[in-house]
Amino acid sequence: MPYTISAVDRALNLLEAVAEHPGLNVTELANVTGNTKSLVFRLMFTLEQRGYVIKEPASRTYTLGYRPLFLAASAQDNVALIKAAGPFLDDLARRSGQQVNLLVRDGLHSVCVALRTARDSGRLYAQVGRRGPLHAGGGPKILLAFAPDEIREQVLAGPLQSFTTTTTTDRAALERRLAVIRDTGRNESRGDLDANAFSFASAIHDRSGEVVAAVSVAGTLDRLEPGDDRKLPALVDEAAERISEAMGFRQRFAGAV
pLDDT along the chain (257 residues), means of 10: 79 92 94 94 94 92 87 76 93 94 92 82 66 93 97 94 94 97 96 92 95 95 89 97 93 46
Is the domain of 55 the same as that of 84?
Answer: no
Q: The CATH number of the domain where 213 resides is what?
A: 3.30.450.40
Q: Are residues 165 and 211 in the same domain?
A: yes
Q: Which helix (H) or strand (E) holds 243?
A: helix 228-246
Is 179 found in the same domain as 127? yes
84 & 194 share domain: yes
Q: Is residue 198 part of a domain?
A: yes
**Residue 43 sits in a domain of what CATH number?**
1.10.10.10
User: Residue 100 phi/psi, 5° resolution?
Assistant: -120, 135
Task: Clarify whether residues 78 and 204 are in a common domain.
Answer: yes
pLDDT value for 41: 95
CA distance 190 to 136: 10
Residues 155 and 111 in one domain: yes
| Residue-number span of the structural domain to which 104 is assigned | 71-246
Number of independent structural domains in the chain: 2
Half-sphere exposure of 233 (CA within 13 A, CB side): 12
Inter-residue contact 135 to 171 (CB < 8 Å): no
Give the pLDDT confidence score for residue 255 in this predicted structure.
37
Q: Which of 44, 65, 86 is the last residue of a domain?
A: 65
Predicted structure pTM score: 0.72
| 18 and 85, same domain (yes or no) | no
The pLDDT assigned to 124 comes to 63
Query: Are residue 112 and residue 188 in the same domain, yes or no?
Result: yes
